[in-house]
A and B are shown apart, each in its own frame.
Chain A
Amino acid sequence: MNMQEKNESANNFEQCIKCTICTAYCPVVPVNPIFPGPKQAGPDGERLRLKSSYFFDDALKYCMNCKRCDVSCPSGVKISDIIQSARIKYGRHKPKLRDMMLASTDLVGTLARPFAPIVNSTISTKPVKAILDGVMAIDHRRMFPKYAGRSFESWFRKEAGPLQSSFRNQISYFHGCYVNYNYPQLGKDFVKVMNAIGFGVNLLDHEKCCGVAMISNGMMSSAKKHAVHNVKVLKKAADTTRKILATSSTCTLTIRDEYPNLLKVDNSDVRNDMEIVTKFIYPLVAEGKVKLVFKKGYKAKVAYHVPCHMERLGWGIFSAALLKMIPGIEFTMLDSNCCGIAGTYGFKKENYEASQAIGKPLFDQINGIDPDFVTSDCETCKWQIEMSTKYQVKHPISILAEALDLEATAKLNK
């Protein structure tokens, strides 16, 4: 019988054997009892939804899409994709103005950045926060990321861009909205490190926001437009530099996995070329293809938080391994926990309490360790941890930029 050799179903939902382990690892369940939990919202609910769309439960919106259920599942069920696909397919609520504003990171960034000082000070004043809270349902206790005065792209084109062609090796960089509008310093650190190890950095032919916030706020057609555009420019970049690196774990996961799985945008031409920077660098160092020289006397007590999406990518080991190579680093791997922000999720008034409760075990552990600073590969984790603890959060690549003797390193990697 040439049948039943394998089992196939959308996102493997039929492979669920009801062990309920995902529920044990869901960070939302213990803090928000309205959320039905990953198993119920995912494979269980799916069988009913196939019967009639009426069985769709609006409470699926409380899923943060942190993907911890996927990581814990012994059966290979893509639980988070089942939940997000159901939201896309059956969700009946149109996104609110607030959601659209939170989701349009690049649009709002473009508008806000030139007025950065005004926006930053206005957005943090009490009356404005009260309006955001009351009218927009953005929680007033939430601190907003600040907008930078000059975008990363504009800095790069003027300052760094012209120098890049002198390097023997070339890579492309997907910087993402956060680096561009809020924190260009991370992009600058990236360029420094890449240049030091002998790689010239190229920007894409106009990247757009990866669309993760649009996906989670139900703006699917916009997200899809972005995805189609990005795949096109990524392909163009891959054709010249092959590798496209990113500093954001969420942008990376979105482009690699959410594009094909949720948005049904074919990215097979570029998926394997898109990586987070530490996954690219560490094997080169380990194989001796790249040599690093560290500053003498660099010392830091660092606690590493693996962002949920990094956990899902399975690449936390690369950042950890790279950091552990730095002499003078006292490294602690934080327990695998979600910080609770999940992109725009924690910004919403209805999620604020849950968001902080989810993050509490992580904050407690950080406070217990009392590091010099925390490190993480995700910008929203950075906001959340900085807001909820007294510790600064640095990207692993920024730590590398600090710890490396850049000139000496550059010499060895010419």
Chain B
Amino acid sequence: MKYDTIIIGGGLSGLVCGISLAKRGSKCVIVSAGQNALNFSSGTFGLLSRLPDGRQITSPLEAIGELDENHPYRIIGEDKISEYAGMTAGFFEECGIKLHGNNDANGYVVTPTGDYKPAWLAMEDITIFPEKQEKIGEKVLVVNFKGYLDFNSAFVANAFEKSGSSCRMETVSLEATERLRRNPTEMRAVNIARVLDNESVLSEFAEAVKKLIKDEDVVVLPAVFGLNNAASLDILKNNIGVKTLFVGTMPPSIPGVRTQMLLKRAFEGAGGTFLMGDEVTGGEISGHRVLNVKTVNLGEVMLEADNFVLSSGNFFSKGLIASPEKVYEPVFDLDVDYLKDRSLWYDQDFFRKQDYMGFGVKVDSSLHALKGGDAIDNLYVTGSILAGTNQLYEGCGAGVAIFSAFYVADSISGKKEN
């Protein structure tokens, strides 16, 4: 099977790259070994919130110059990053995903544990506050589904109380969600969302919430609405009547699952082919070029293309694999930047910087992958598998995923034009 571009990995980066290319008429296929990290997203995107030395960043675009030279942002270049950051919301809008936020300064979102986390952009469910611990109202009503354990209303209420609001916690139970309750394990975000996608159940819920309001000026709900589209959010806001905010839940994340679905739909809508549940097992390389890749499902049918993009993610998605002795990239055995001594991979404090999260595949200045020190001319690397950054620590995972995807899509289509 012959394509223009084959993308390995169907997460945020692979999809953005695929959509960008497919929209420009490129025949693309994405091979995705199962679902990806978007399903566990916080509903927000980060550009940069911390430097590797731990300094907090409020204006991410201004801080890029302070990053190391091999950081993907520095490889892509400050100007390009600013340009891409400006394009991002529009790009997602075209895929049916509304993002809001500010390129010039990080805002903050309230997390499921009631912490404030810096954010660049957020999906429309999630409210961004310009300042940490901003007071959202005088009296806040935090409503949860009865017995739903993945939304910690006590923690969330605690956060709002610390910022000066008085909080009350209530629960709602509906006949339709109670049906789920018969199963001890399935009172989870996606299942609740599926039930609430039914309009009559949704308005029943809104009525129930309304009845609970005494003198509160703000209602806070778990972000478990609108699995298929975000229209439910507006319906709820309108029906409840008072200011309604949503706070993310423990995984799976409804805004994340919705975003993943819409991106995949946009990719397929642009003519792309998405192979879900298949896995690239290896590729043939000859003279600094990848000729083809093999997958589990396609067997002897090889996937051939002019260009290949490796967006296979970090350890979680098995883009990188750690054995007791080494860290390696399993598809092409590319050069991986990692610490040899395993005892240096970890910090004994779980909540401090974990160096293993910064391991990744080495690239040249065009994001070509390196193997044995040499660049592979038609193999590009994007997203969380890139070396040079601890994305979780620096809060730049989405930025790196999106910008490297834009950059590679530009390179590939530029090459074709030339």
Contacts and interface: CB of A to CB of B under 8 A. Distances in A.
- State yes or no: do A and B touch (Cβ within 8 Å): yes
B297 A286 contact: no
Interface in B297-349: 297-301, 316-318, 323-325
Point out which of B39, B40, B268 has the most chain A C-beta atoms below 10 A from its C-beta.
B39
Contact of A30 (B2, B182, B191, B301): B191
B190 A314 contact: no
Contacts of A70: 277
B302 to A, nearest CB: 9
A312 B301 contact: no
Contacts of B298: 314
Interface string A15-56: 001011101110001100111110110000000000000000
Interface in A46-80: 70-76
B257 interface: yes
A317 B300 CA distance: 15
Nearest to B299: A272
Point out which of B2, B34, B190, B273 has the most chain A C-beta atoms below 10 A from its C-beta.
B34
A386 interface: no
A286 B302 CA distance: 12
B35 A29 contact: no
A5 interface: yes
Contact of A315 (B36, B186, B268, B297): B297
Contacts of B276: 71-72, 311, 336
Nearest to B150: A20
A333 B186 contact: no
A40 B186 CA distance: 9
Please tell me the size bucket of the interface on A: 35 or more
Given A23-B190, A33-B182, A37-B183, A314 B278 contact: yes
Interface string A332-352: 010010000000000000000
A333 B296 CA distance: 23
B324 A29 contact: no
Interface in A173-212: none
Given A40-B185, A74-B316, A313-B297, A21 B191 contact: no
Contacts of A5: 323-325
Given A21-B39, A33-B180, A272-B300, A74 B34 contact: yes
Contacts of A39: 185
B39 A37 contact: no
* SS class, residues of chain B in contact with chain A: loop
Interface string B263-307: 000001000010111110000000000000001111111000000
Interface in A1-20: 1, 3-6, 17, 19-20
* SS class, residues of chain A in contact with chain B: loop
A19 B40 contact: yes
Contacts of A272: 299-300
Given A24-B39, A25-B35, A312 B275 contact: no
Interface in B1-20: 1-2
A134 interface: no
A98 interface: no
Interface in A237-296: 272, 279, 283, 286
Contacts of A74: 33-36, 316-318
Contact of A21 (B252, B296, B300): B252
Nearest to A313: B297
B95 interface: no
B186 A33 contact: yes
A75 B185 contact: no
Contacts of A6: 323
B194 A23 contact: no
Nearest to A315: B297
Given A71-B277, A283-B301, A24 B252 contact: yes
Point out which of B275, B276, B316 has the most chain A C-beta atoms below 10 A from its C-beta.
B276
A74 B298 CA distance: 18
B188 interface: yes
Interface string B368-397: 000000000000000000000000000000
Contacts of B323: 4-6
A20 B251 contact: yes
B34 A73 contact: yes
A74 B297 CA distance: 15
Contacts of B415: none
Contact of B186 (A3, A37, A72): A37
Contacts of A286: 1-2
Contacts of A311: 276-277
A314 B34 contact: no
B1 A24 contact: no
Contacts of B34: 21, 71-76
B179 interface: yes
A300 B4 CA distance: 29
A336 B316 CA distance: 25
Nearest to A68: B277
Given A279-B301, A333-B268, A314 B39 contact: no
A248 B361 CA distance: 42
A333 B252 CA distance: 26
A4 B277 CA distance: 26
B195 interface: yes
Contact of B251 (A19, A73, A336): A19
A34 B185 CA distance: 10
Contact of B279 (A30, A37, A76, A313): A76
Interface in B193-216: 194-195
Nearest to A271: B299
A5 B179 CA distance: 45
Nearest to B302: A283
B182 A29 contact: no
Point out which of A4, A30, A36 has the most chain B C-beta atoms below 10 A from its C-beta.
A30
Given A23-B185, A29-B191, A272-B300, 12 more contacts: A5-B323, A24-B252, A29-B186, A33-B182, A37-B186, A40-B185, A75-B34, A76-B33, A283-B1, A286-B1, A314-B297, A333-B268
19 contacts: A1-B324, A4-B323, A5-B325, A24-B35, A24-B39, A24-B190, A24-B252, A29-B191, A33-B180, A70-B277, A71-B276, A72-B34, A73-B35, A74-B33, A279-B301, A314-B275, A314-B278, A317-B273, A317-B275
Interface of B: 1-2, 33-36, 39-40, 179-186, 188, 190-191, 194-195, 251-252, 257, 268, 273, 275-279, 295-301, 316-318, 323-325
What 4 A-B pairs are tightest by C-beta distance, nearest first?
A314-B297, A71-B277, A74-B34, A24-B190
Interface of A: 1, 3-6, 17, 19-21, 23-25, 29-30, 33-37, 39-40, 70-76, 272, 279, 283, 286, 311-315, 317, 333, 336
